[in-house]
Amino acid sequence: MSERNPIPLILTAIGSVAGTIAVLGYYGYLHFAKPEDALLLSDYTMLKTVPGEDYKVSLKPADQVAHCIDGVLVLFDVNQKGLTGVLVDNKKRAVRCMGQETPAAE
Protein backbone atom coordinates (compact mmCIF):
# COMPACT_ATOMS: atom_id res chain seq x y z
CA MET A 1 0.00 0.00 0.00
CA SER A 2 1.13 3.47 -0.82
CA GLU A 3 0.45 6.57 1.21
CA ARG A 4 -1.11 9.56 -0.53
CA ASN A 5 0.30 13.02 -0.18
CA PRO A 6 -2.47 15.22 1.41
CA ILE A 7 -0.98 18.53 0.26
CA PRO A 8 -2.43 18.41 -3.31
CA LEU A 9 -5.87 17.57 -1.88
CA ILE A 10 -5.72 20.50 0.55
CA LEU A 11 -4.54 22.89 -2.17
CA THR A 12 -7.33 21.68 -4.48
CA ALA A 13 -9.94 22.29 -1.77
CA ILE A 14 -8.64 25.79 -1.04
CA GLY A 15 -8.48 26.59 -4.76
CA SER A 16 -12.04 25.33 -5.28
CA VAL A 17 -13.39 27.52 -2.48
CA ALA A 18 -11.47 30.58 -3.72
CA GLY A 19 -12.64 29.96 -7.30
CA THR A 20 -16.25 29.59 -6.21
CA ILE A 21 -16.12 32.85 -4.25
CA ALA A 22 -14.51 34.64 -7.20
CA VAL A 23 -17.17 33.42 -9.65
CA LEU A 24 -20.04 34.29 -7.28
CA GLY A 25 -18.57 37.76 -6.76
CA TYR A 26 -18.10 38.30 -10.50
CA TYR A 27 -21.75 37.48 -11.26
CA GLY A 28 -23.04 39.64 -8.41
CA TYR A 29 -24.31 36.92 -6.09
CA LEU A 30 -22.20 38.16 -3.17
CA HIS A 31 -23.14 41.33 -1.34
CA PHE A 32 -21.23 42.65 1.64
CA ALA A 33 -23.58 44.87 3.66
CA LYS A 34 -22.25 48.17 4.95
CA PRO A 35 -23.62 50.00 7.99
CA GLU A 36 -24.88 52.81 5.75
CA ASP A 37 -26.98 50.32 3.76
CA ALA A 38 -29.59 50.12 6.53
CA LEU A 39 -31.80 52.57 8.37
CA LEU A 40 -32.79 51.68 11.90
CA LEU A 41 -36.43 51.69 12.90
CA SER A 42 -35.44 53.45 16.11
CA ASP A 43 -34.67 56.55 14.03
CA TYR A 44 -38.42 57.02 13.46
CA THR A 45 -41.13 58.08 15.87
CA MET A 46 -44.86 58.38 15.34
CA LEU A 47 -46.40 61.65 16.47
CA LYS A 48 -49.95 60.99 17.59
CA THR A 49 -52.26 63.79 16.60
CA VAL A 50 -54.96 64.73 19.06
CA PRO A 51 -57.69 67.19 18.05
CA GLY A 52 -57.15 70.55 19.71
CA GLU A 53 -53.50 69.95 20.64
CA ASP A 54 -50.54 71.53 18.89
CA TYR A 55 -47.38 69.67 17.99
CA LYS A 56 -44.12 70.90 16.52
CA VAL A 57 -42.10 69.41 13.68
CA SER A 58 -38.93 70.61 12.00
CA LEU A 59 -39.22 72.70 8.86
CA LYS A 60 -36.26 70.83 7.35
CA PRO A 61 -37.50 67.70 5.54
CA ALA A 62 -36.11 64.23 6.25
CA ASP A 63 -33.61 62.53 3.95
CA GLN A 64 -36.20 59.89 3.02
CA VAL A 65 -39.29 60.00 0.83
CA ALA A 66 -42.14 57.52 1.30
CA HIS A 67 -44.26 56.00 -1.44
CA CYS A 68 -47.21 53.63 -1.23
CA ILE A 69 -46.37 50.63 -3.42
CA ASP A 70 -48.76 47.66 -3.49
CA GLY A 71 -50.24 48.76 -0.17
CA VAL A 72 -46.86 48.84 1.65
CA LEU A 73 -44.99 51.98 2.73
CA VAL A 74 -41.59 52.03 0.99
CA LEU A 75 -38.90 54.55 1.92
CA PHE A 76 -36.44 55.93 -0.63
CA ASP A 77 -33.30 57.73 0.54
CA VAL A 78 -32.73 61.09 -1.15
CA ASN A 79 -28.97 61.27 -0.50
CA GLN A 80 -27.93 57.70 -1.32
CA LYS A 81 -29.47 56.65 -4.61
CA GLY A 82 -30.60 53.03 -4.66
CA LEU A 83 -31.09 52.83 -0.89
CA THR A 84 -34.69 51.74 -0.37
CA GLY A 85 -36.51 49.84 2.32
CA VAL A 86 -39.89 48.82 3.62
CA LEU A 87 -41.00 50.48 6.86
CA VAL A 88 -41.71 47.79 9.48
CA ASP A 89 -42.70 47.74 13.13
CA ASN A 90 -40.73 46.12 15.96
CA LYS A 91 -42.12 42.69 14.97
CA LYS A 92 -40.95 43.05 11.34
CA ARG A 93 -44.52 43.57 10.06
CA ALA A 94 -44.77 45.90 7.09
CA VAL A 95 -46.55 49.22 7.64
CA ARG A 96 -49.56 49.31 5.30
CA CYS A 97 -50.74 52.39 3.49
CA MET A 98 -53.80 53.51 1.59
CA GLY A 99 -53.92 55.73 -1.43
CA GLN A 100 -52.11 55.35 -4.71
CA GLU A 101 -51.78 51.70 -5.57
CA THR A 102 -49.59 50.24 -8.28
CA PRO A 103 -51.93 48.92 -10.99
CA ALA A 104 -52.02 45.15 -11.21
CA ALA A 105 -50.97 43.51 -14.46
CA GLU A 106 -53.88 42.04 -16.37
Residue 38 covered by a domain: no
Is 37 a member of any domain? no
What's the domain range around 69? 44-105
Whether residue 64 lies inside any domain: the answer is yes
Distances in whole angstroms, Cα of residue 59 to Cα of each of 62, 65, 69? 9, 15, 26
Q: What is the pLDDT along the chain (106 residues), one digit of tens a residue?
A: 568 889 999 999 999 999 999 999 999 888 777 766 555 544 577 778 888 888 888 888 888 888 888 888 888 888 877 777 888 877 888 888 887 555 554 4
Tell whether 54 and 78 lie within a shared domain: yes
On whether both 24 and 69 belong to a single domain, the answer is no
Residue 27 sits in the same domain as residue 50: no
Regarding pTM above 0.85, the answer is no
57 assigned to some structural domain? yes
Overall number of domains in the chain:
2
